[in-house]
C-alpha cells in the first residue's frame, strides 16, 4: 500500500524490461547481419490495455525527471488485435525511451486506430535534433549529440524499430516541430481478431 514502495517496484520493473529488451535487440541484430529475417509471433491481445501498461511502467522514470506523460486514444478498452505483443513493446519502449531523453517537461502520446491500421504520434517538448542528425537517426549504433549514450532508445533501438515497422507494412518519420520539440509518427498494419484469419 506504500506509494514509495510501489514507485521503487515500478522502477525495477522498467529496468528489468529495458535490460531484457536491450539483450534481445543485440542478439536480433546479429541475426539480421547474417541475413536472417525478423520473426513475428502474433497472438490475440487487448492493445489498449498493453499500451496503458507500457506507459504506466515508464511513468516512474518520467516522474523522476519531472516529465509528464499524456496518453490519448480514439478507442476504448478492450480492443483486441492480432499482432506480436513483444514487437509492440520493443517499439514503444524504444521510441518513448528516446523521447524521455529529449523532453524537458512533457511527452504527448496519441494513438488512433483507423480500419486495420494503428497510427502513433509521440511528441516531446525538448530541443529537437539538427537536420544532419535526423538524416542518420535510423542508422545502426547512431547516437544523437543531445542525448546521452543509451542503447535502449538510440543506436540499436531506432534501427530495429524501423525494421519492425517496415515488416508490419508501416512507415515511420522523425521530424522537428515548428517551435520546439521532436515528433515521431509511425503506422502499423494489423488485423482485428474479429476478422483475422492468418498473419504472414
Q: What angle do CA 174, 175, 176 make, to 5 degrees?
A: 145
Rounded CA separation 199/192 (Å): 11
Q: Which residues contact 184 (CB under 8 A, 6 or more apart)?
A: 95, 98, 99, 120, 121, 122, 123, 172, 173, 174
For residue range 92-128, list pLDDT tens digits in order.
988 998 898 889 999 999 999 887 788 999 999 998 8
Q: What is the mean pLDDT of the chain?
A: 79
Residue 29 or 174, more confident: 174
Rounded CA separation 76/159 (Å): 31
Chain center to CA of 59 = 14
Give me the residue label for grid cell 521503487. Answer: 8
- Give the count of beta carbons closer than 10 Å to the beta carbon of residue 163: 15
Ranking 27-36, 102-111, 172-181 by mean pLDDT, the lowest is 27-36
Q: Using CA atoms in the order 20, 23, 28, 30, what is the torsion angle rounded to 10 degrees?
A: 180
For residue range 32-82, list pLDDT tens digits in order.
665 567 778 888 999 999 899 889 888 878 888 899 999 999 887 788 888
User: Is the confidence at residue 199, as pLDDT, over 60?
Assistant: no
**Pick from 170, 126, 161: which is nearest to 142 by CA?**
161
Chain center to CA of 15 = 15
Give the per-residue pLDDT at 101.
85
Amino acid at each position: 500500500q506504500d506509494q514509495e514502495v510501489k514507485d521503487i517496484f515500478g522502477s525495477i520493473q522498467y529496468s528489468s524490461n529495458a535490460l531484457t529488451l536491450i539483450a534481445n535487440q543485440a542478439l536480433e541484430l546479429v541475426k539480421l547481419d547474417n541475413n536472417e529475417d525478423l520473426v513475428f509471433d502474433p497472438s490475440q491481445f487487448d492493445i489498449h490495455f498493453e499500451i496503458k501498461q507500457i506507459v504506466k511502467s515508464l511513468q516512474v522514470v518520467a516522474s523522476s525527471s519531472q516529465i509528464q506523460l499524456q496518453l490519448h486514444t480514439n478507442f476504448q478498452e478492450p480492443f483486441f488485435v492480432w499482432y506480436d505483443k513483444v514487437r509492440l513493446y520493443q517499439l514503444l519502449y524504444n521510441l518513448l525511451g528516446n523521447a524521455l531523453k529529449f523532453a524537458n517537461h512533457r511527452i504527448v502520446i496519441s494513438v488512433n486506430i483507423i480500419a486495420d491500421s494503428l497510427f502513433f504520434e509521440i511528441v516531446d517538448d525538448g530541443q529537437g535534433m539538427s537536420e544532419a542528425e535526423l538524416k542518420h537517426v535510423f542508422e545502426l549504433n547512431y547516437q544523437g549529440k543531445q542525448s546521452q549514450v543509451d542503447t535502449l532508445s538510440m543506436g540499436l533501438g531506432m534501427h530495429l524499430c524501423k525494421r519492425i515497422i517496415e515488416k508490419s507494412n508501416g512507415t515511420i518519420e522523425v521530424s522537428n516541430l515548428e517551435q520546439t520539440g521532436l515528433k515521431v509518427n509511425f503506422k502499423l498494419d494489423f488485423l482485428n481478431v474479429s476478422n483475422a484469419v492468418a498473419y504472414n
